[in-house]
Structure 1
Amino acid sequence: MRYTVNCSIVLPALPLLQRPAAAAAAGFDAVEFWWPFAEPVPADREVDAFVAAVADAGVTLTGLNFAAGDMPAGERGILSDPARSTEFADSVAVAVGIGERLGTLGFNALYGNRRDDLDPVRQDETADANLAMAAAAAARIGAVALLEPVSGVEAYPLKTADDAVAVLDRVGSPDLRLLLDVYHLAVNGDDPAAAIDRHAGRIGHVQIADAPGRGEPGTGTLPIHDLLARVVAAGYRGPVSLEYSPATDDPFAWLAAARTGA
């Protein structure tokens, strides 16, 4: 099992550009980030500084989110908003350019919340077109676009693995795949084990956090190790992302214990 550290949530106390080196110092060779910039089109110097921070740390950037709007304010993606399609496309170009330099495998495309002032059908049609575009862009560098069920925001329409896979079926691109986050599925009432069994062939990336609480494994009640064994048995061979908010002083102690059989 190869692990990748989501530096956007696991190492929040450090300045962003110091986080890849901190992950490397903790023994990891791979990292991922949510959108690491304030704007969909950052300045070239910001992009170069981010790329240098990852490269200088000697780690691979396995995953990167496309721009997702104002996450602290509750936004969860912009790709289903017709007024923001250009903004989304611009962020796709930036992200894929970064990925080409750093060997990125997958790009997470958050769907976007439902808006009361927009017809849901129009939002879905916009999302389908933008997801197809993002998947094609990712495929040009040998990567995939990813679609994720998310918890915590009622207006976000994809809450179960079935919800996300229905969108994959609509778009019909082999380069658009399911991001299976066991925490989000469990919190939304979906059964992560059953989701793995139903959709094993559609999974493009796996993220873990315990529930409740979204802390590291062992801080909640999810059978994380059993779920990982299940997804591997189902054929998944990609990295597993540690995407949790640390609840203990050492966010990686659980993993050291697991590796030594404690």
Structure 2
Amino acid sequence: MTHGLRYLANCSILFPELPLLQRPAAAKAAGFDAVEFWWPYPAAVPTDAEVDAFTHAIADAGVQLIGLNFFAGDLAGPDCGVLSIPERSTEFRDNVDVALEIGNRLGVQAFNALYGNRVDGVSPQEQDDLAVENLGYAAKAAAGIGATVLIEPISGPKPYPLRTAADVAVVVGRVKAAGHDNVGFLCDLYHLAANGEALDAVIDQYAAGIAHVQIADAPGRGEPGTGEVDIDGHLSRIEAAGYRGWVGLEYKPTTPTTDESLAWLPRERRSATTAR
């Protein structure tokens, strides 16, 4: 391993063999000091008891929650974000308040805002304008706790308009032009590779805007070494360009347990204090 970046466990996709609220403790037992989650509830606004249960699971495990997704609808179904969809805009804004409450309690540094699919009956321009408005709303709220809003490209068949690093850069630029500096590019190597991007060229062109990194191998979205992506080489290139943030493990384990899938990552590299 030729880079010194820090790894964290995405507990929404790792440890699928366990109930969600047991996964932070499992991540800690596997050697991780930090985790991230997709939005952990089916609704945009969960009950107070649900919020308390989640925050206690993080705190009791002794891990730091670095990243949290805003509500993005039913990711396993038709949805891939709601913030650019007029009839769901209120859901997103209501969720921002709850997500930031969790973030304030747990010291969350970054909130991933999935853009939302194209929908019938609404022009792309109208959706894009609404997205910039809602991302600005989220960024202003996140700034209050010193956090960043992340925007990422997504692969797969859903009609999601942000597919390339260039697509994301346009949106980030529009939100920044509206007066919000705390927005950045979530450089997800799996989605970019699956969409056919030349990863070294993306890194060289957009490294200055990278605010967070996530990895999985491609094809397949398994752990590093199960596909064809030179993940270590690309992470070294990202680090050489100046990135010093976290690398989220957002892969689907190909082994019976997540612990087995982590054989590629020495245990000493899972601690937040081991990066050089």
Question: What's the TM-score once normalised by structure 2's chain length?
Answer: 0.92
2:246 corresponds to 1:242:
no
In the TM superposition, residue 184 of structure 1 has moved relative to its aligned partner by: 0.1
Decide which of 261, 264, 268 is 1:251's aligned counterpart.
261
2:220 match: 213
Is 1:22 the equivalent of 2:26? Answer: yes
- Residue 183 of structure 1: CA displacement? 0.3
Report if the CA contact (8 A) 1:6-1:32 is conserved.
yes
Q: How big is the shift at 1:257? A: 8.4
Aligned residue in 2 for 1:117: 121
- Checking the alignment, whether the CA contact within 8 Å between 2:153 and 2:188 is kept in structure 1 is yes
Give the deviation of 1:119 after TM superposition: 1.1
State the AA in 1 paired with 2:62. G
Query: In structure 2, do the counterparts of structure 1 residues 191 and 258 end up closer, same or farther at CA, with 3 Å as the change threshold?
Result: farther
Offset of 1:258 from its aligned partner?
Answer: 9.8
Does residue 81 of structure 2 align to residue 80 of structure 1? no
1:38 paired with 2:53, answer no
* Deviation for aligned residue 1:248: 2.5
Which deviations, in whole Å up to 9, do the C-alpha atoms of 1:98-143 show, x marking residues without a partner?
0111111100000000012211111111100000111111111011
Distance 1:257 1:25 in 2: 10
* Alpha-carbon shift at residue 74 of structure 1 (Å): 2.6
Higher relative contact order (CA 8 A, sep 6+): 2
CA contact (8 A) 2:67 2:110 kept: yes
Residues 89 and 247 of structure 1: CA distance in aligned 2, closer, same or farther (over 3 Å): same
Determine helix, strand or coil for the equivalent of 1:73.
Answer: coil
- Segments of structure 2 that go 5 or more residues without pairing to the other structure are 270-276
* Kept after mapping to 1: 8 A contact 2:31/2:267: no
Report if aligned partners of 1:64, 1:106 keep a CA contact under 8 Å in 2: yes
**SS of 2:242's equivalent?**
coil
Query: Are 1:215 and 1:244, in contact at CA under 8 Å, matched by a contact in 2?
Result: yes
Classify the secondary structure of the residue corresponding to 1:9: coil
- For residue 167 of structure 2, what is the amino acid of its counterpart? D
Note the alpha carbon deviations across 1:215-234, whole angstroms, 9 max, x for none: 00000010000011011111
Partner in structure 1 of residue 104 of structure 2: 100
CA contact (8 A) 1:10 1:251 kept: no
Letter of the 1:246 counterpart: P
Contact 1:5 1:32 in 2 (8 A): yes
Check the 8 A contact 2:150/2:183 in 1, yes or no: yes
The 1:175/1:100 distance shift into structure 2, 3 A limit, reads same
Equivalent residue, structure 1, for 2:198 = 191
What is the distance in 1 between the residues matched to 2:199 and 2:49? Answer: 41
